[in-house]
Amino acid sequence: MATAPLLTATSSGDALELRPAGSWVASNAETLERLSSDMAPQLDRAAAVKVDMTGVHELDTLGAWLLEKLSRRATSAGHRADIVGIADNYAGLIDEVRQVNRHTPAPPPARNPILAKLGDIGRATIGSREDIAAFLQMLGALCIAILGILRRPRSLRLTSLAYQLHRVGWQAIPIVALITFLIGAIIAQQGIFHFRKFGAESYVVDMVGILVLRELGVLIVAIMVAGRSGSAYTAELGSMKMREEIDALSTMGLDPLEVLMLPRILALICALPILSFIGAMAALYGGGLVAWFYGGMGPAIFLARLHEAVSVTHFEVGIIKAPFMALVIGIVACSEGMRVKGSAESLGKQTTTSVVKSIFLVIVLDGLFAVFFASIGM
């Protein structure tokens, strides 16, 4: 069994004799490291070192390495070092350890932190150019695939499309409706609370209606879809890439873009306008309920005011944006999925990037649309 390790040193003149004893094994690592580092100053003074190992009755790589380090320290200072009394069963280990750690790999050159930071910024800038290129490439490839389908409608994978629609559309309805309902209710409550000071409570209906139909409905739903379905797309495609399923598809002469990505992106493009519509209705419903119970405005008045405040244009402005946002989410999710490399960590990283990037792009796109609609007077 393991016993406490010892290291005794007897010096006679210039010569130092080290007598390690006990268990020089990993379970005593802490003691061993202390013992051998305590010995260093004595070692540096001695002209010749002899290590007598007769007392060692257990030895493993760690112990052998520490002893080897002691003798190497002596030799590197130009002194003699001998190891004697090695038990037969440890001779191989001692020989093996003599070979290791002979050349240390050059440490990576120290980098100036400021330069390193600047370098990172530069790399990120160039990287973002590549991102744009990758996005445009994907968009182009998608257009070609869609053209192909227009020419041969039978090549569209209907089963896959229906399945994806079920997943990103139908199954998303409850959570989308719930969240937009709550957001509509919150906007109405805040509006009533603050407008009351000016006696303008009735304008809450205008605010809820326009805000929800034009901007918030579609934006909130797009952000939720990016988090819910975009991340799922990236993770699916990424793990398929990791397990070489995508390579298998291409070797069978099938285009992964046509088989995997097109149905997914088309499903998103179909589902997002529907979800936006449902979301907008749920938000108006939530706003209406709050106006009724908190603001004391009955449903009949709410509907009448809504009818005055909101025109079809508002609804159109909102819903036109939805397919474009879906396209952006789908392209980002798929292209990030294809960038996954071998490790589990890269799958996680790419999924995060996919969600962050698609939410960012959705908001940018919303801003561009706002400018566009303002300039054409919608």
Binding site for another protein (CB under 8 A): 1-2, 25-27, 29-30, 33, 57-62, 65-66, 69, 89, 92-93, 96-97, 99-101, 103-105, 341-346
Q: What DSSP string runs through 62-73?
A: HHHHHHHHHHHH
Query: Can you tell me the distance from the alpha carbon of 333 to that of 327, in angstroms, rounded to the nearest whole number?
Result: 10
Which residue, 10 or 27, is less far from another protein as judged by CB? 27
Smallest gap from Cβ 43 to another protein, in A, equals 16
Which residue, 346 or 353, is less far from another protein as judged by CB? 346
Smallest gap from Cβ 66 to another protein, in A, equals 8
Smallest gap from Cβ 95 to another protein, in A, equals 8
Smallest gap from Cβ 7 to another protein, in A, equals 15
SS3 category, 235? helix
Which residue, 103 or 129, is less far from another protein as judged by CB? 103
Whether the CB-CB separation of 56 and 20 falls below 8 Å is answered with yes
Which residue, 3 or 311, is less far from another protein as judged by CB? 3
Smallest gap from Cβ 344 to another protein, in A, equals 5
Which residue, 21 or 62, is less far from another protein as judged by CB? 62
Query: Please, what is the Cα angle at 123 between 122 and 125, to 5 degrees?
Result: 65
Element (H, E) at 199: none
Query: Can you tell me the distance from the alpha carbon of 121 to that of 115, in angstroms, rounded to the nearest whole number?
Result: 10
The strand pairing partners of 32, in sequence order, are none
Distances (CA, A) of 51 to 8, 19, 61, 80, 267: 10, 6, 17, 11, 75
Taking only Cα atoms into account, the Rg of the chain, rounded to an integer number of angstroms, comes to 35
> Which candidate, 155, 162, 357, places its Cα nearest to that of 270?
162
56 torsion bin: left (phi>0), alpha (psi -120 to 50), beta (else):
beta
Which residue, 70 or 142, is less far from another protein as judged by CB? 70
Strand 48-52 versus strand 6-12 pairing type? unpaired
Which residue, 97 or 145, is less far from another protein as judged by CB? 97
Smallest gap from Cβ 26 to another protein, in A, equals 5
Tell me the one-letter amino acid at 277.
F
- Spell out the residues 6+ positions from residue 38 whose beta carbon is closer than 8 angstroms to its own: 7
Element (H, E) at 139: helix 113-151
SS3 category, 60? coil
Token pair in block for residue 144: 């070609």
Element (H, E) at 214: none
